[in-house]
Structure formats: C-alpha cells, structure tokens
Structure 1
Amino acid sequence: MLPSWLTEPLWDQFALLLPARPVYHPDHPLGCHRRRISDRVVFDKVLQLLRFGCSYEAIADTTCSATTFRSRRDEWIRLGVFAEFKRIALECYDRIVGLVLDRIAVDGAITKAPGGGEVTGHSPVDRGKQGLKRSGMTDGYGIPLGRVLAGANRHDSPLLAPTLDLLDDLGPLPDDITVHLDAGYDSDKTRALLAERGLHGRIAHKGEKAPIQASQRWHVERTHAWQNAFQRLARCYERRAVVIDAFFDLADTVITVRSVIRRAWMTHRWDGRPHRRP
C-alpha cells in the first residue's frame, strides 16, 4: 500500500473536491436508513485497487461492498473529480518545482487488456490478444501531462496529434518547445505536423541504432514504468474508456505528488513531512 505521507495529502485535497452528503439519505421516511459509506473508506479502496489490480469483489469487505465501490467510482467520474484532482496536482507541482515545458516527450506503451473494451485491439506484441495502447506525454523531467487511449493495434504516429492537443490545457507555454520522439515517428508527416504547431522535433532515425539516452525521450519511458507499477494499469480489466482514464488520472496524480514531495524535501518544511527523503 502507499505510505501515509503520500496518502494523507492526497486525501486532504480529494475530500475538498467532493460534494457534501448527509450521513443518512434525506428521502427516507424515518430518517434512520443505513448510514452512507464514508468517502474516505471508498478512496482507500480505490488506491488499493489501483495499486494491486485485484477485482472489486476481492477487495470488498464489511466496510464497503463491490456495488458501493463501483457506484461511488462512477459518481466521482460524472462529477469530474479525478480529472480535477490531476489538474490541481500539476498546478501544485508547477508552482513549487516548475514544469519543464520547453522540452516534452511523447511515446506509446502497450499493456494487456484481457477483458476487451472500448479502447482495446489485437496486440501485435502479444500473439493478437486484446491489448491497450496509451500515447503518453511528459514534461522534461517525466511528470505525466496526459495520455490518449487506443487499441493496441494502433500505430504511435497517428496518435501524436491528439496527444499534442493536450498541451492546450496547460495554459501559457514556452515559445520554443522541443518534442522528443522515437523512430516510430520518423516521417515527413510527423515533421509537418510539428511545424504546423510551431514545435521543434528531435526524432530518432529509423535503421540507426542509438541508446535511449541519446535524447531526452527516456523520461517518458521511465514514466511508463512508473504507471505500470500500478497493477490496475499494467493489466487492465476495465471496459469503459472513462473508467480507464479515471484510474490513469489518479495514478498520474500519485506520481506527481510523490515527485513534489521528493523534490521539495530539501527546501520545504511542512506537517507530515517524511523523516527521510522518499
């Protein structure tokens, strides 16, 4: 499970995004219906599910049923809580540490999706089994900025445009931005796309062996590894795209807040600060 120095600040902010709810349902004639399951209990269950990747039924217990878990998850998705949670985390990181937006990296990653779903396809690296591809984008340090979901049979290159569109949500951008890409994007179409957007491209060339450290695209590879440490993302059983995006938003928030704490540990003091650098 995630350590308390990380889960407590996550919950403190997440709770502020939730609407106020009465302990008992107001429409009950006697006003004494079964108490509503605490949002904190469900939030902890969501983190456990994200981290360990087990089924809803396996993680359910006397404190929260699988049905309540799913309904509360869907309620939070409808309210846009997970997306707003991630946006606040990025703003916090940018204010305390600073996003490195003059260089970004984009790359695709394929994971298993045994249950199929809206954004799955036959995986070319897993004997045609169902798989999920994400086209992820990070800043120059590796902070996840967003992703586009697609079937595993989609090529990385056509997903570049919708991935770069996510930059519009980040507010003011530097005048000079370099996009680091691997050889899968090595084409005139990609270079034209970057030129239309006023972006510079540093693209690995097909047929030329070069270590990943030759450019700054290794940051996005590391971020994919961070995301795959959450078993719910490494082996996705969710079928709806909005649910998958919600879990990715939560994972990206955890990664961002963890990076804030790690990088601010030497320069800031606060209540609940870890005794040693995480």
Structure 2
Amino acid sequence: MRNLICSASLLALIVAPAYAQEQTQPDQPTQQDQAQPQTQVEPEGVIVLSEWRYDPLYTSGWSVDQAFDEATVVGANGDEIGDIENIVFDRDGNAVALIAEVGGFWDIGDTHVSIPWDQVQISEDAARFTVPVTEENADEFAAAGDESVLREGETGQVSTVDDDLATGPNLFKATDIIGDTAFLDNAARYGYLNDIIVNDGKLAAVVADTRAFGRGYYAYPYTGATAWRDPARYTLPYGPDDVVVLQVFDYNQMQRKGTMDTGTTSSTQPVPEADTDTQTAQ
C-alpha cells in the first residue's frame, strides 16, 4: 500500500507542472505567431497619399473660396440677386444647403436664405449659382423670420436664416474649416486651410496653404469630422514622411475656376518641427 501511495505521489509531481504549463500556453503567442510580420493598418477612411490623385479635382472640382469671392447667385428668372454667403455640409462631406445673401436689389433688404443643395444649379465654370428665389417669393421667406440654428432635418426646404447662422451637431459650414490651422498627426504646425474643393456635390479635398514656409498649396482628401480636435484646429491624418510625396496643387489646371494667386509651384514641401501648442495663428 505504501509503495502504491509513493507511486501516486511521484506521478502527481510529474504531471502537475506539465498541466500548469498547458493552462498558461493559450494566452502566449507561439513561435510561429511571433514570426509573422506585423502590418500597420491605416485608419478607416484615410487615403494613402501615394495613391491620391488631383485629376478629378482638376477636371470637375470647384473652389469654395473662389465661389465666395467671385460667384454670383442668380434667381429663377435669370437675374443676379445676391452672393454666396456659405455652404453647409453634413459630417460625411455631402453638400446639403447653399446660404445666399439676397435682396440687396429689392425693397426687402438683405436677407440670408438657405436653399437645399438639390435645388441649386451650378454653371460650367462655377461662376453662377442659380436658385429658385425671386423678388416675388423672397417676401414669403423673409416673413417667416430668421432661424439662428440650421439642423439636419431643416435643410430640405428654402428658408430664411440668421446672418450669423449656427448649425446643428451633424452639420458644419464651409467657413468652419476655411481659416483653421492645419496640423500633422505628430502635432507639427503645417500651415492653414485656405480652401475646400467640392466635386459632384461632396467635399472632396481641403487645401492647405504652406506659403508661410516658402511653398504653395497642397490638397488633401477630406477625412471626416474626426479631423477636428477643437474649433480652430484641423489635424491631417498624415505624418512628415507621408506629406512629402505630394505635388503642389495647381489652381490653373482646374477646368471650373476663376482666378487666384497660385503662389509657388515647388514640388517639395518643408515639414515644421513638432509644435504641441494648441494656440493657432489668426
């Protein structure tokens, strides 16, 4: 009996460590797993800049900054009735409304009107934006009073809005981006966003002005609402090694364009040192 007990005890001493080791193995990578190369996954929705092309922007895109400065708003009867005040987008970059300042030629005085984007017709050179507003029906919009906040469900109809319009949580205005300081993903101050390019009714690109560093304009794909860290800061999801592949964005190649100071045409760009200070230049 004593020999049997000793044998059982010896067997337990041999088996127990092996069993304990077996219980800890599933949480540890095998040699085969460790040998597999680790690949870096790009964040969802981010376009690799080496695959990014300006051609669609040149062919059919138009500059919002130029539209602010040069385009005219035309009424349903063909008369010039005002100017573009702003453009409203949803968070995916879809244009949803044109904000026009109209009425300066009429007795009602200046009125800011929100027009659904699907009711706006844009000329081939993006110099004329035709809207379904006339002197006759503008009185109806003005009588409704100004709305100070435009929300997502309110963009489908023509309405008057406040001249200092705010937007709901799922919308933003072109001027919410234009003028923001641009940063790279390593917190390096890169320049500022002086323009956005719309193509086929969508915000296709943001344009960074890096002329303060002796260069020119560079267009980057719009990556969605996550680019904003605070109201005056736009973070490009690219690092210093990513941005050097881009050529200067040449406004002269745009087929739907007005005139613009295009700055230098250098094909390389400086990358500033990392700057984590969140204060932006105005």
Fold match, TM over 0.5? Answer: no
More helix per residue: 1 or 2? 1
Structure index of larger Rg: 2
Relative contact order higher in (CA < 8 Å, ≥ 6 apart): 1
More strand per residue: 1 or 2? 2
Please, what TM-score do these two structures have when normalized by structure 1? 0.25
Please, what TM-score do these two structures have when normalized by structure 2? 0.24
